[in-house]
Amino acid sequence: MDNDLTLRATFDREAARYGRARPAPPKAMLDAMLRDLRPGERVLEVGCGTGQATLPLAQAGLRVHALELGPALAELARSNLAHHPNVTVQTVAFEDYRSDTPFDALVSVQGFHWIAPETGLAHAASLLRSGGALLLAWHQERSQDTAFYRATDPIHRRFENPLELKRPVPDFAPDRFSSALAASPFFESLPTSRFAWSYRYSKARYLDLLLTYSNVQALTAEARAHFLAEIAGIIDAHGVEVERLYESVLVSARKRG
C-alpha cells in the first residue's frame, strides 16, 4: 500500500500538466453514467483529478463530494469547479474517508485501480445507501495495431521495465473489479458497458501526456529526458500528430439491501 500511495502521489507533482494534457472522458460514457443518476442526488467521486468527470456531474444537477489524494490536483479541481456550488472537493485518500450520511452513488473514472478490490468494495458499500449505484470507469489502450504504437512500444519497455514498480494497471482493472463484484456480498453486478473513441495529440501535448504517467515520473531525470527524446523522434518520423485509440469500460453495480 505504501508503494501504491507513493506512485499515486506522483500525479500531484504534474497537476497543471495533468489538467491540460489528459483528454476528458468520452461523452457517451458520461451519458451512460448519468442515466443511473438523478438531479439532487448525492454522489461521492473518488480520485477527481482536476475535475474533468466532475464537471458534467455538476452540470447535471448532482451534489458531488469529490475526493482527491493530491493537494495540487485538488486545488485545481476547486478552481475549475468554482462556479458550481453543488460541488465540494476534499483532499483525502479514499481509504481514509468516512461519512455519517450515505451517498446515492459512488463514481470513479480512471482512479479505482489503485485500490485493492476486496477492501475497496467493502469501503464503498459502507458509504452507499441500500440500492446506491457504484460506477467505476477506466480508459483502456486500443492502439496496439497502429504503426506508432509498434514503433514506441520497445522504447517504453526498455525504459520502464527495469523499474519493476509492479504498479496497478488500468487495462486490467475492469476484469479485476468485475470478478470481485461477482463474488461480493455487498453488491449486485450490472452489465458492463464499453465505448470506443480516439484522440489526436499534438507532439507537445503527447509528450505532456507521457509526463503525467506515474511510471514515467518514476524514472530518473536523465532517463526521463532520454525517453522523451526518443519518443519525440518517433513522432517526427510519423507526422505532426499522434492518434491514440481507446476503449472506455464502465463497470456498474448496485448495493444490496
At 131-187, the pLDDT tens digits run 999 999 999 999 999 999 999 999 998 987 665 444 445 557 899 999 999 999 999
pLDDT at 2: 45
CA dist 114 and 50 (Å) reads 17
Cβ neighbours of residue 148 closer than 8 Å, sequence gap 6 or more = 234, 235, 238, 242, 243
CATH number for 112? 3.40.50.150
Q: How do strand 193-202 and strand 241-255 relate by DSSP bridges?
A: antiparallel
Residue 74 within any structural domain of the chain: yes
Q: What does the chain come to in residues?
A: 257
Q: What nine digits make up the cell of 150?
A: 509498434
Residue 216 within any structural domain of the chain: no
Residue 70 within any structural domain of the chain: yes
Q: Are 239 and 164 in contact (CB under 8 A)?
A: no
Q: Which residue's C-alpha cell is 455519517?
A: 100
Residue 46 within any structural domain of the chain: yes
Residue 149 within any structural domain of the chain: no
- Residue ranges in 161-200 assigned as alpha helix (H): 173-183
Domain count of the chain? 1
Mean pLDDT (whole number) for 195-215: 94
Q: Are 1 and 97 in contact (CB under 8 A)?
A: no
Evaluate if residue 34 carries a pLDDT over 80. Answer: yes
CA dist 70 and 94 (Å) reads 12
Residue 211 within any structural domain of the chain: no
Q: Give pLDDT tens digits for 95-124.
A: 999 999 999 999 999 999 989 999 999 999
**Average of per-residue pLDDT values in the chain:** 91
Range of the domain at 45: 2-141+168-198+247-255
Residue 215 within any structural domain of the chain: no
pLDDT at 4: 54
Instruction: Taking each helix axis as running N to C, give the angle between helix 2-13 and helix 71-80, from 0 to 180 degrees, rounded to the nearest 10.
Output: 50
Residue 241 within any structural domain of the chain: no
